[in-house]
Structure 1
Amino acid sequence: MLKIGHRGAKGHSPENTLASFEKAIALGVDMIELDLWLSSDKIPMVIHDETIDRTTSKMGLVTDYNAKELQHLGIPTLRDVFELVDNRCEINVEIKTFSATQAVLNLIAKNTFNQSKILISSFDWNALQEVRFHDEDIRIGVLTETDLDLAMAFAKFIKAEAIHPYYHLLTAENVEKIKEKGFKVFPWTINEPEDITFVKSLEVDGIITDFPERL
């Protein structure tokens, strides 16, 4: 079962920062998860929210600032993260907006980071369809917080590797069904010990958590 650090090691360091990803690696993760929006100059930036209000000292949309300005506020580029991680673990890249899809694919194509260690996920299934259209080999995870059957049907359609469900959706029966259809199960975001025990008992393939050491 893979240990997947949510936004790095969000329980220990500011989320989606280089420090958080370094901490996750120090805690022995197999994979880090991160989120992407585009800067005003179309650079993939690693931040969860559409605005910078919650995680920086400034206000406004991510798209109001260029990459250099965002880096000065502690928001790394995806390239920064590739360079920091340097193939030491896998990376789950969650695309937050369809508009970022092509820029992410372009960066992956010309980067030295091992593409087999990259898994792209999104709640925007149009973005995932676009990813598959441009790259028939890249690994894809289908995010869902509502409908597992729909997610499985879509995952089959785009030849995804995994389903990333909200963990409250999971039962022993539906996890078995997902695996029977050939998909891995990477639920999110599980932090409390009793929830971790329950989800582990379902024999999922990986757990996305703010506290990797609890796994």
Structure 2
Amino acid sequence: MLKIGHRGAKGHAPENSLVSFQKAIELGVDMIELDVRLSLDKVPIVIHDETIDRTTSKTGLVTDYSAKELRQVDIPTLLDVFTLVNNRCEINVELKTFSATQPVLDLITQSTFDKSKILISSFDWNALQEIRFHDETLKIGVLTETDLDLALAYAKFIKAYSIHPYFHLLTAENAAKIKEKGFKIFPWTVNEPEDITFVISLGVDGIITDFPERL
């Protein structure tokens, strides 16, 4: 079962920061999960929110700042993370916007990062379809917090690798159904020991958590 660090090691360091990703690696993760949006100059940037208000001392939309300006307030580019990780673990890139799809694909193509260690996920299923249209080999994860049956149907349609459900959606029955169809199950965000025990009992393939050391 894969140990997947949510936004790095969010329980220990500022989320989606290089420090957080380094910490996750030190905690022995198999994969880090991160969020990607585009900067003003269309560079894939690693941040969850639409604005930089919550995670930096500045304010405003991510799209109002250049990649250089964002790096100055400790928001890394996706390339920065590829460089730091340097194939030491897998990376789950969550696309927060459809517009990030092509720039992320371009970066993956140009980068020396091992493509087989990259998994692209999104709540924007159109973005996932776009990924599949351009690349038949990239691993794709279908994110859902509402409807597992729909996610399963869509995963079949786009030949996904995994399904990433909000962990409260999982039951022994639907987990078995997903596995039976050949998809990996990576639930999020599972932090409490009793919840970890529960999802492990369902036979999930990996757990996305803020505290990788608890797995």
Report the TM-score range of the alignment, normalised by the length of the smaller protein. Answer: over 0.9
Q: Quote the residue 2:164 is aligned against.
A: 164
Q: Does 1:137 align with 2:137?
A: yes
Deviation, 1:86, is 0.2
State the secondary structure of the residue aligned to 2:121.
Answer: strand
Structure 1 runs (4+) deviating above 3 angstroms are none
Across the two proteins, how many residue pairs are aligned to each other?
A: 215
- 1:1-215 map, 5 Å: 1-215=1-215
Whole-angstrom distance in 1 between the partners of 2:200 and 2:180? 18
Measure how far apart 1:44 and its partner are: 0.2
SS in 2 for 1:9: coil
CA distance in 1, matches of 2:206, 2:136: 24
The gaps in structure 1 that reach 5 residues or longer are none
CA RMSD of aligned residues (A): 0.3
TM superposition score normalised by structure 1: 1.00
Letter in 1 for 2:53: D
Aligned-residue offset at 1:185: 0.2
Q: Structure 1: how far apart are the matches of 2:130 and 2:183?
A: 20
Three-state SS of the structure 2 residue aligned to 1:33 is strand
In the alignment, the residues of structure 2 paired with residue 77 and residue 96 of structure 1 have an alpha-carbon distance, to the nearest angstrom, of 14
**Aligned-pair CA distance for 1:19:** 0.2
Superposed CA offset, 1:63-110 (max 9, x none): 000000000000000000000000000000000000000000000001
Q: SS at the partner of 2:177?
A: helix
Separation (CA, whole Å) in 1 of partners of 2:139 and 2:70 = 28
Residue by residue over 1:112-150, the C-alpha shift from the partner in whole angstroms, topping out at 9 and shown as x without a partner, is: 000000000000000000000000100000000011110
- The runs of 5 or more residues in structure 2 that have no matched partner are none
CA distance in 1, matches of 2:73, 2:135: 33
User: Could you report, residue by residue, the CA deviation over 1:172-202 in whole angstroms, capped at 9, with x for unpaired residues?
Assistant: 1110000000100000000001111111111
Supply the distance in 2 between the matched residues of 1:186 and 1:100 (Cα, whole angstroms).
22
**Fraction of identical pairs, as percent:** 80
- In the aligned structure 2, how far is the partner of 1:4 from the partner of 1:39? 26
C-alpha distance in structure 2 between counterparts of 1:174 and 1:26, whole Å: 34
Q: Please give the alpha-carbon distance, in whole angstroms, between the structure 1 residues aligned to 2:83 and 2:20.
A: 14
Quote the offset at 1:35 in angstroms.
Answer: 0.0
**1:207 is paired with a residue of what secondary structure?**
strand
Distance in structure 2 (CA, Å) of the matches to 1:13 and 1:200: 25
